[in-house]
Amino acid sequence: MKRFTTAISNMLSNDIGIDLGTANTLVYVSGKGIVLNEPSVVAVNQKTGRVVAVGAQAKAMLGRTPAHIVAVRPLVDGVISDFEVTEEMIAYLIRKAEESSKKMLGPKVVVGVPTGITNVERRAVRDATKNAGARDVYIVEEPMAAAVGIHLPIKEAVGSMIIDIGGGTSDIAVISLGGIVRSKSLKIAGDKLNTDIISYIRSEFKILIGEKTAETMKMAIGAVLPANPPLEVAIRGRDLVTGLPREVVITDSDLREAIGGSIDNLIEAVKQVLETTPPEILSDIMHKGVYLVGGGALIKGLRELLQDYIGIPVYVGEDPLTAVARGTGIILEDLDEYQEILIQNEDDLPPKR
């Protein structure tokens, strides 16, 4: 009977899962999969306070806008607590999801949020999602959603460790019996590596490069272990002395030097979490390994380097950039099954860890 009523309700409405990442926002529609994957950027008209564009369209405006239009990254710049911006962003996402699907009768929405956001921000997300037309809103912490997305046995009495290296934050979480047992969120992730690269190129080559160039370089030749054969790219930037464009060749060893400090800090944080993990769970993790997700999981050599340092097998989760969104989808399709991992009411938030 339950299966039958679920089938009927699925015919009447498509429910939505949203991964509100610091760098990328993904939207999952039940029965369809991921229908939207856009940068988490919102363009706001400062004169009117209105959102003028969201996603790729807003990102294209970065650096090209008239003075009164600013492109912001809501989860990095703290705008998520700005209710109107958040609401417009979420309304936009729900609208887009509806366009790609049949009309929705007030969809149920599962939203993945970073573990680091404040209660005020979390409440803003919930209220904004409701106001944007959602029938019911379920909030899930992103590491938990990612663990579901890559099919870790989160509800069993077996501990798992998942490390989500995103744009603004890296979240390290130990999960057992449907709860987050230990966690740490740090602001060392993809964005920090980009600024590390910008500073290094400025001090070593006396050239100023932009964020985009740094990120492209990081993805193309960034490797935390020496690449064989060595990797290199030619990049153009502004010569700090002459003020004119100049081209230089950068190698993977330059990038390793640039991001080395941040990578060390990240590994140190993982060690700290392992050190405070209860022994039984630690023993599970040693057997089952540690899983990397998020865009940072794709940094060449990171898996091997981390594995060497902690002496525990490390794996890259399947399709690491979409793990959280797929997890929200799996949760949506079976809300009863995942009830206990969802934060439904701010008044019964899990105790602070």
For residues 65 and 58, give the distance between their C-alpha atoms in angstroms, rounded to a whole number.
10
The tokens of 208 are what?
């100023």
Residue 298 interacting with ligand ADP (CB under 6 A): yes
Using CB under 5 A as the binding rule, whether residue 21 contacts Mg ion is answered as yes
DSSP 254-306: HHHHHHHHHHHHHHHHHHHHHHTS-HHHHHHHHHH-EEEESGGGGSBTHHHHH
Query: Helix, strand or coil for residue 164?
Result: strand
Binding residues for ligand ADP, total number by CB under 6 A: 20
Contacts of ligand ADP in 237-296 (CB under 6 A): 294-296
317 binds ligand ADP (CB under 6 A): no
Among 15, 16, 22, 87, binds ligand ADP (CB under 6 A): 22
* Per CB under 6 A, 327 contacts ligand ADP: no
Among positions 149, 166, 317, 329, the unique one binding ligand ADP when judged by CB under 6 A: 166
Buried/exposed code over 271-296 (b: 16+ C-beta within 10 A; e: otherwise): eebbeebeeebbebbbebebbbbbbb
| Contact of residue 296 among Mg ion, ligand ADP, none (CB under 5-8 Å per partner type) | ligand ADP
| CA 265/CA 262 separation, integer angstroms | 5
The residues, ordered by sequence, that sit 6+ positions from 64 with a Cβ below 8 Å of its Cβ are none
Q: Does 219 interact with ligand ADP (rule: CB under 6 A)?
A: yes
Nearest distance in Å: CB 326, Mg ion:
12
Site for Mg ion in 157-186 (CB under 5 A): 166
- Pick from Mg ion, ligand ADP, none: which does 143 bind, CB < 5 to 8 A by kind? none
- The distance of closest approach from Cβ of residue 193 to ligand ADP in the complex, given in angstroms and rounded to an integer, is 7
Asked if 303 is part of the footprint of ligand ADP (rule: CB under 6 A), the reply reads no
Contact partner, 168, from ligand ADP, Mg ion, none, Cβ < 5-8 Å per class? ligand ADP
Query: Could you tell me the smallest distance in angstroms from the CB atom of residue 327 to ligand ADP?
Result: 12
One residue of 15, 87, 215, 254 binding ligand ADP per CB under 6 A: 215
Nearest-angstrom CA–CA distance, 266 and 264? 5
The amino acid sitting at 282 is L
Q: Binding pattern to ligand ADP, positions 169-188, x when CB under 6 A?
A: --------------------
Residue 74 is a binding residue for ligand ADP (CB under 6 A): no
What distance in Å separates the CA atoms of residue 241 and residue 244, rounded to the nearest whole number? 8
- In the numeric block, the tokens 């060893």 are attached to 253
191 binds ligand ADP (CB under 6 A): yes
Q: Name the residue whose CB lies closest to Mg ion.
A: 21
Q: Which of 17, 21, 149, 317 binds ligand ADP (CB under 6 A)?
A: 21
**β 170-176/16-20 pair status:** unpaired
Tell me how far apart the alpha carbons of residues 6 and 335 are, in angstroms, rounded to a whole number: 11
d(CA 54, CA 42): 4
Interface residues with Mg ion (CB under 5 A) are 21, 166
